[in-house]
């Protein structure tokens, strides 16, 4: 039972980070009906910027984190404005292919600047483990969970109560109606990309503190895609619940099944679960079913 609870806690922490990164997929899809395949590179660049500020310039972690988030927001805003805005009004597949090309370009830039070696964050969090009964939890896991929960609450309040958040929700529901009410849909697209870059950077920085940073961290973007699809690409609560489901199942699979089959099963489990759920819920657990009149 102790081992099960240990794996469960690990799954909740990692799943909460997945949920945060999946929020970026959902925001972009809700605003433009496109899937951003460069999400993993946003995650990687934000993490490397934060790590470089800390190790090369001795900037405190909190300040480095805020600078990295501002950099990520500007990066997302600029990429939407320069690279993706020309695709507005074009077939969605054109924008999706543009994000695939953008992913390769950003990955190449990361390789040129930071190389391939694994780097580690300096010890930011305490190394003294926290004991909850028989469960031992590293402080970095607790801090990661608290930060993710705080950000998810902040974004939930932002979308529900702020003027910009309401405008984003209106644009997601009906772009034509939003424009008729004076909402700048182009600006909403840019803000959605900026927020997607921010949440990706936070997720990458937290995972980097846990496992170190190298170019393989961008694969989290592909791993998180099943999270967004599982919960429903147009559902923010679905992204949160989907992240927790995938994180917990992945952790339990790694703890119980990987030793029996020689490893590797936890890497494919998110996609197995995704296929199984979509067989019964094609729009995801909380996705909105589209009904079109002929």
DSSP codes, 48-61: HHHHHHHHHH---H
> Which pLDDT score, from 0 to 100, does residue 294 have?
47
Give residue 112's pLDDT: 93
* Mean pLDDT per 10-residue section of the chain, whose length is 294 residues: 87 91 86 84 95 94 95 94 82 87 93 91 85 82 90 86 86 81 87 92 92 88 84 84 90 91 84 84 74 50
Exposure string of 257-294, with b = 16+ CB inside 10 Å and e = fewer, is: eeeeeeeebbeebbeebbeebbeeeebbbbbeeeeeee
Q: Is 293 left (phi over 0), alpha (psi -120 to 50) or beta?
A: beta
Place of tokens 């780097």: 119
Cα separation, 8 vs 164, in Å, equals 37
Which pLDDT value is given to residue 290? 59
Q: How far apart are CA 115 and CA 183, in angstroms?
A: 42
The contacts of residue 251 (CB under 8 Å, 6+ apart) are: 7, 8, 10, 11, 14, 15, 266
- The pTM of this model reads 0.90
**pLDDT attached to residue 44:** 94
Q: Does residue 264 come out as left (phi exceeding 0), alpha (psi in the -120 to 50 range) or beta?
A: left
Give CA–CA dist 164/50, Å, rounded.
27
């Amino acid at each position: 039972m102790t081992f099960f609870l240990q794996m469960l806690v690990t799954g909740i922490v990692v799943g909460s980070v997945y949920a945060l990164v999946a929020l970026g997929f959902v925001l972009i899809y809700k605003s433009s009906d496109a899937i951003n395949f460069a999400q993993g590179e946003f995650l990687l660049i934000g993490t490397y910027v934060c790590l470089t500020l800390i190790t090369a310039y001795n900037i405190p972690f909190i300040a480095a984190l805020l600078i990295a988030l501002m950099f990520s927001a500007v990066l997302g805003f600029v990429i939407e404005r320069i690279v993706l805005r020309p695709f507005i009004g074009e077939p969605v597949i054109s924008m999706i292919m543009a994000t695939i090309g953008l992913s390769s370009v950003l990955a190449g830039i990361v390789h040129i600047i930071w190389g391939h070696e694994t780097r580690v964050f300096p010890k930011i969090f305490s190394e003294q483990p926290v004991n909850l009964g028989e469960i031992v939890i590293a402080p970095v896991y607790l801090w990661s969970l608290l930060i993710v929960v705080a950000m998810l609450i902040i974004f939930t309040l932002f979308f529900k109560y702020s003027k910009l958040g309401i405008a984003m929700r209106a644009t997601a529901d009906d772009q034509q109606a939003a424009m008729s009410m004076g909402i700048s849909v182009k600006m909403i697209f840019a803000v959605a990309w900026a927020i997607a870059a921010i949440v990706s950077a936070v997720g990458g920085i937290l995972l980097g503190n846990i496992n170190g940073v190298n170019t393989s961290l961008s694969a989290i973007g592909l791993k998180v895609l099943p999270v967004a699809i599982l919960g429903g690409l147009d559902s923010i609560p679905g992204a949160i619940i989907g992240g927790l489901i995938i994180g917990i199942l992945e952790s339990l699979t790694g703890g119980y099944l990987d030793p029996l089959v020689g490893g590797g099963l936890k890497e494919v489990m998110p996609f197995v679960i995704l296929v199984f759920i979509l067989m019964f819920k094609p729009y995801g657990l909380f996705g909105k079913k589209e009904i079109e009149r002929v």
